[in-house]
A and B are shown apart, each in its own frame.
Chain A
Amino acid sequence: MKELMIGNEALARGLFEGGCRVVSAYPGTPSTEITEYIATYDGIYSEWAPNEKVALEVAFGASLAGARAACAMKHVGLNVAADPLFTLSYTGVTGGLVLCVADDPAMHSSQNEQDSRHYAVAAKVPLLEPADSAECYRFAKEAFALSERFDTPVLLRTCTRIAHSQSLVETGERAEVPLRPYVKNPQKYVMVPGNAKQRHPVVEARMAALAEYAEDCPYNRVERGGSEVGIITAGTCYQYVKEALGETVSVLKLGLIHPLPTKLIRDFAASVRRLVVVEELDGIIEQHCRNLGLSVEGKSLFSPIGEYSQATVRRVFGLPAPASLSVDTPLPVRPPVMCAGCPHRGMFYLLSKLGATVIGDIGCYTLGSQAPLSALDATLCMGASISGLHGFLHADPQVARKTACVIGDSTFMHSGMTGLANIAYNGSAATVIILDNSITGMTGHQHNPTTGYNIKGDPAGKIDLEALCRAMGIRRVRVVDPYQLKETEAVLREELAADEPSVVIARRPCVLLKSVSPKPALRVDPGVCTGCRRCMKIGCPAISMRGDKPKQHSSIDGTLCVGCEVCVQLCAFGAIGKEAQA
């Protein structure tokens, strides 16, 4: 029976049926669910690794030992895993190895919209790109055989609209693939220069063989339609082209994006009068066509920015847009916000109050940059808060008493530790604030090495953050509860003033965790409230101003409030109290 699945579930199903034995990953939107679905299958070892580099290296080890293995990450995660990837290209594999990478055009939940296809070109490995869930399933299942046949890791690239769209999949049975026996082969696997020099020609020969394979592989196909326009496309763009243009054009639908075929593309180009490439982000297929000397259009028509849709394709080809209704009233935007009761709120309020310059990191707490908290000065990539702060202080040591960084528990384990090692080693009067909400929050609550549980929710090793920081040589390690503003402020003032490195761990679990039960909602006494708006400074979605000016008072939405009492501590008039008291 056909089932509706998101691309990520279909990928997981395909990996499972393809005989995968080991999966390691770090969560990242829109790739996270691949590994979450994998964890529901018996017969596969799965784990959350501290970061993507570790995940790929775990998959490498499993492959070396003869197992079919996979890892999953978002596009920026592949930057972290790039180091093992480039040399894995040289070693090749024993058991098939598949790296699933999900791009995020339009940046629904990312800090950039880089195009992962460049990695396949640069690392000289094949890349498959499915166009719906059925292809996610099939490509993932078959990618292991491709990996083993050509002795190479295989990249399987999706984007948000494939990873998070559901379409029909007909599943099958899991293939029980025995371990390929491990045979010691240092010439292939010990990448010292002497051996690597022998491997590079192997890589080039492999890519030549794959380019040959691309000419008539089962992943590329021509769909003959009108002969005026021929479109080369792949992935989700294929669906937009079919939706907008149907049979009026001929389509070369590519599934193997690297290496690209030569003869197939030349023949297709010769069969149409006008050749257009439709691909989101960069013009990689288009450039290949240019290298073949073909007359082709692509990025002159379609933007390298954001994602497309059938409307984009219609517009470019001059088809009329459907009629639609508009609203005259300007509508206020609805950006994502930190949840009511979010433990990060109190910390950002205090950092803002102290006028601190704050280098931020990647996670829910990036929302601390928004008004009215406006607490962040920079956010770059995973881990950059700590190393960035160190650099900032060495450029201008005078600002140490007014400068700090914030990083989450999971992000600290991912790549913050090395930055802290640098501070402990080279020294700076940095104040590093670890926002420990006991979970990887933004991606939807995945465990990490500090939570004490593994991917299946079973008890696991638990890294003690205080002991870890002390072991690195940080003498000043403080733990605060960010719900307690007075105490937290006192600690922040002391640590910002200290002339040596310090770590402040703000510990309070995410309010969305099932283990956290909300306290009774708070209530504003409108008779006592003076309308001073002090409680509005924390940007809590549960608090708003009610009544007509000038007699406005604040009000708390009882359905949203979880009783964290941060606002209570701000009110100078005692107007906010528990429901029962008021």
Chain B
Amino acid sequence: MTNVNLMIVGVGGQGSLLASKLLGHLLVREGYDVKVSEVHGMSQRGGSVVTYVRCGTQVCSPLVTEGEADFLVAFEALEGARWVPYLKPGGRLIVSTQQIDPMPVVVGAAAYPDTVLQQLRDRGLSVDALDALSLAERAGSARAANMVLMGRLAHHFHLPAERWLDAMAEVVKPKFLQMNRQAFLSGYHYPDQH
């Protein structure tokens, strides 16, 4: 098969680590060659963070570059917009509507670009936006927003949901499994937007 390229982007501390762990684990279970790349350290301190996940018959580069991503999963709206140039034509943006002001906005030196997702839709990009934070809270914890977004990704991905849930059971602690499953399914079954 041709390689599938994914990116998970957000703000340091938002919980993308567990999302990429689940995704990596699932893809290895399916027998793909897999590479996952992220940067630790300075960027964790509330900065913009990105994880690249690639799978296929043979994956060489651990990076995804502009115009190569099939899926862009954004934990935060501005970060979604920031990484859109990495999507390939026909690629899909799955984005949480959560907004976290970066420091230039906090200090009043810049404005948060509220209309950017609409702009992208207007130009024909597939934008699947959902309030992952509220859905996660309803499932039991705001911290499960990552699983809501993984559920939404699974909705568009070529593997059945059961495989995702089997993989989840192997990476999530048993006492949090039920809540994470519920969060995942709320994203998976989220109504399609047109």
Quick one: closest B residue to A162, CB to CB? B62
Residue in B24, B48, B68, B82 whose CB lies within 8 Å of A4: B24
**What A residues does B48 contact at CB under 8 A?**
333-334
Interface centre among B46, B82, B84, B142 (most CB of A within 10 A): B46
B1 within 8 A of A: no
B137 smallest CB distance to A (angstroms): 11
Quick one: closest B residue to A326, CB to CB? B85
Cβ contact within 8 Å between A311 and B65: yes
Interface residues of A in 104-144 (CB under 8 A from B): 108-109, 132
A227 within 8 A of B: no
**What A residues does B84 contact at CB under 8 A?**
325-327
A301 smallest CB distance to B (angstroms): 18
Quick one: closest B residue to A29, CB to CB? B41
Contacts A329-B113, A336-B12 given; does A165 touch B104 at CB 8 Å: no
**What B residues does A328 contact at CB under 8 A?**
119
B179 within 8 A of A: no
Contacts A4-B25, A328-B119 given; does A339 touch B78 at CB 8 Å: no
B174 within 8 A of A: no
A13 within 8 A of B: no
A147 within 8 A of B: no
Residue in A29, A167, A364 whose CB lies within 8 Å of B35: A167
Interface residues of A in 298-338 (CB under 8 A from B): 309-311, 321-338
Residue in B36, B45, B78, B89 whose CB lies within 8 Å of A166: B36
Cβ contact within 8 Å between A321 and B79: no
Cβ contact within 8 Å between B47 and A336: yes
Q: How far is the CA of A539 from the CA of B115 in the complex (A)?
A: 26
Contacts A321-B66, A326-B85 given; does A240 touch B41 at CB 8 Å: no
Cβ contact within 8 Å between A332 and B105: yes
Contact with A along B86-130 (1 / 0, CB 8 A): 111100000000000111111111111101100110010100000
Cβ contact within 8 Å between B62 and A236: yes
Cβ contact within 8 Å between B34 and A4: yes
Contacts A4-B24, A236-B62, A331-B78 given; does A339 touch B45 at CB 8 Å: yes
Contacts A109-B41, A309-B63, A324-B87 given; does A331 touch B113 at CB 8 Å: yes
**What B residues does A331 contact at CB under 8 A?**
78, 81-82, 113, 116
Cβ contact within 8 Å between B102 and A324: no
Q: How far is the CA of A336 from the CA of B46 in the complex (A)?
A: 5
B43 within 8 A of A: yes
B10 smallest CB distance to A (angstroms): 10
Q: How far is the CA of A30 from the CA of B101 in the complex (A)?
A: 28
B61 within 8 A of A: yes
Cβ contact within 8 Å between A165 and B66: no
Residue in A164, A332, A444, A543 whose CB lies within 8 Å of B104: A332
Contacts A108-B42, A324-B86 given; does A334 touch B60 at CB 8 Å: no
**What A residues does B78 contact at CB under 8 A?**
331-332, 334
Cβ contact within 8 Å between B43 and A108: yes
A242 smallest CB distance to B (angstroms): 4
Q: How far is the CA of A25 from the CA of B168 in the complex (A)?
A: 34
A480 within 8 A of B: no
Cβ contact within 8 Å between B61 and A310: yes
Q: How far is the CA of A283 from the CA of B13 in the complex (A)?
A: 37
Q: How far is the CA of A372 from the CA of B46 in the complex (A)?
A: 16
Cβ contact within 8 Å between A324 and B34: no
Q: How far is the CA of A364 from the CA of B125 in the complex (A)?
A: 38
Contacts A243-B61, A309-B63, A334-B47 given; does A327 touch B104 at CB 8 Å: no
Contact with B along A425-445 (1 / 0, CB 8 A): 000000000000000001110
Q: How far is the CA of A527 from the CA of B81 in the complex (A)?
A: 35
**What A residues does B41 contact at CB under 8 A?**
29-30, 108-109, 442-444
A224 smallest CB distance to B (angstroms): 17
Q: How far is the CA of A236 from the CA of B60 in the complex (A)?
A: 9
Quick one: closest A residue to B82, CB to CB? A331
B30 within 8 A of A: no
Cβ contact within 8 Å between A539 and B107: yes
Interface centre among B42, B88, B110 (most CB of A within 10 A): B42
**What B residues does A167 contact at CB under 8 A?**
34-36, 59, 62
B44 within 8 A of A: yes
**What A residues does B108 contact at CB under 8 A?**
536, 545
Cβ contact within 8 Å between B35 and A336: no
Q: How far is the CA of A371 from the CA of B43 in the complex (A)?
A: 17
**What A residues does B34 contact at CB under 8 A?**
4, 166-168
Cβ contact within 8 Å between B43 and A336: yes
Quick one: closest A residue to B133, CB to CB? A559
Interface residues of A in 1-57 (CB under 8 A from B): 2-4, 29-30, 32-33
Q: How far is the CA of A539 from the CA of B125 in the complex (A)?
A: 36
**What B residues does A89 contact at CB under 8 A?**
none
**What B residues does A536 contact at CB under 8 A?**
106-108
**What B residues does A543 contact at CB under 8 A?**
106
A161 within 8 A of B: yes
A152 within 8 A of B: no
Interface residues of B in 27-55 (CB under 8 A from A): 28, 33-48
Quick one: closest B residue to A74, CB to CB? B41
Cβ contact within 8 Å between B36 and A165: yes
Q: How far is the CA of A326 from the CA of B28 in the complex (A)?
A: 32
Q: How far is the CA of A330 from the CA of B81 in the complex (A)?
A: 10
Cβ contact within 8 Å between A329 and B119: yes
Quick one: closest A residue to B80, CB to CB? A327
A76 smallest CB distance to B (angstroms): 13
Cβ contact within 8 Å between B37 and A243: no
**What A residues does B68 contact at CB under 8 A?**
322
Contacts A164-B37, A167-B35 given; does A2 touch B88 at CB 8 Å: no
B183 within 8 A of A: no
**What B residues does A109 contact at CB under 8 A?**
39-43
A62 smallest CB distance to B (angstroms): 28
Contacts A4-B24, A29-B41, A339-B46 given; does A332 touch B110 at CB 8 Å: yes
Cβ contact within 8 Å between A309 and B112: no
Cβ contact within 8 Å between A325 and B120: yes
Contacts A165-B62, A322-B68, A371-B107 given; does A332 touch B85 at CB 8 Å: no
Contacts A164-B37, A242-B60, A323-B88 given; does A310 touch B65 at CB 8 Å: yes
* In the complex, the 7 A-B pairs of residues with the closest C-beta atoms, listed nearest first: A322-B67, A109-B41, A29-B41, A324-B67, A336-B47, A165-B62, A332-B110
Beyond the given pairs A164-B40, A243-B60, A332-B105, 10 more chain A to chain B contacts, judged by CB atoms under 8 angstroms and listed by A's residue number, are A33-B40, A108-B39, A109-B41, A322-B66, A327-B119, A331-B78, A332-B110, A332-B113, A334-B82, A559-B142
**Interchain Cβ contacts under 8 Å between A and B, 16 examples:** A32-B40, A109-B42, A167-B59, A310-B61, A321-B66, A321-B67, A329-B116, A332-B111, A333-B48, A333-B102, A335-B102, A336-B44, A370-B103, A536-B108, A541-B103, A545-B108
